[in-house]
Amino acid sequence: MKTLIMIDVQNDFMPGGSLAVPGGNLIVPVINRIQSHFDLILATQDWHPVNHKSFASNHFGTKPFDRMVLHGSLQTLWPDHCIQGTTGAELDKNIESDRIAAIFRKGMDPEVDSYSGFYDNNHALSTGLAGYLKEKGANEICFCGLAADICVYYSILDSILEGFFATFIEDASSPLYPEKFDDIKCELAKVGVRFVHSRELLAD
């Protein structure tokens, strides 16, 4: 079962969006091109209520990208993004979505952020993604999407904790902080993540 999970390919993470990832739009045609390689395609969607505590706008005297302690954990405060039902929360309109079998939404609890597609940041609430994948018989999962160094990164780590083999498709993902991304890749390599270019997938 060749499985692809596209993480948060949403308007607010695209250039022009409220939390734009550099080059986010460039991964869209790559993701579309590789879809034919997979048997099962899933997506995640950051899906926040307007009062979400990860938004700087919900904390007096803070600004986006400040950090604060939220319920005992360090939280980066973000610009308002991916608010439920808004255009910014929709998947990019150029992503081919016909073959997306299920979309797992995250970040609905206003009190806790949720970078991973599997669990919230406290590892308390599951989205059900791991159970879904296991029931489908998925073994190795390929990851793409935004942002490579945050939501893709944490999703990959959780997939490994759940016992899956993880592959990161380098040109189908883009980091929010490119200058720090080599360190993230080293961490992923240390836990056994395989790195591929879309070209290699299509050559299989």
Instruction: Give the Cα separation of 107 and 10 in Å (integer).
Output: 14
- Going by C-alpha positions, the residue among 101, 128, 131 that lies closest to residue 35 is 101
Distance CA 144, CA 79 (A): 23
Q: Where are the alpha helices (DSSP H) in the chain?
A: 27-34, 129-136, 153-161, 181-190, 198-203
Q: Which is nearer to Zn ion, 107 or 117 (CB)?
A: 107
Region of 180 (left: φ > 0; alpha: ψ -120 to 50; beta: rest) is: alpha
The answer to whether residue 92 forms part of the interface with Zn ion (CB under 5 A) is no
Q: Which residue is nearest to Zn ion (CB)?
A: 46
Q: Which is nearer to Zn ion, 107 or 175 (CB)?
A: 107
User: Is-cis flag, bond preceding 189, omega within 30?
Assistant: no
Task: Examine residue 80 and tell whether it contacts Zn ion (CB under 5 A).
Answer: no
Active site residue 82: no
Nearest approach, Cβ of 103 to Zn ion (angstroms)? 15
- Least Å distance between CB 172 and Zn ion? 20
The one segment of 89-97, 102-110, 124-132, 154-162 that binds Zn ion by CB under 5 A: 102-110
Size of the site for Zn ion (CB under 5 A): 2
Nearer to Zn ion, 53 or 169 (CB): 53
Site string for Zn ion, 106-125 (x = CB under 5 A): -x------------------
Task: With H, G, I as helix, E, B as strand and everything else as coil, classify residue 203.
Answer: helix
Distance CA 179, CA 192 (A): 22
12 to 71, contacts with Zn ion by CB under 5 A? 46
Q: Nearer Cβ to Zn ion, position 119 or 164?
A: 119
Residue (32 or 76) nearer to Zn ion, CB: 76
In angstroms, give the least distance from the CB of 85 to Zn ion. Answer: 15
**In this structure, are residues 21 and 14 in contact, taking their beta carbons and an 8 Å threshold?**
yes
Which position among 53, 82, 106, 113 bears the catalytic label? Answer: 106
How far apart, in whole angstroms, are the C-alpha atoms of residue 76 and residue 52?
A: 12
- The question of whether 2 is a catalytic residue gets the answer no
* Residue positions annotated with a catalytic role: 8, 106, 151
Write out the residues near Zn ion by the rule CB under 5 A.
46, 107
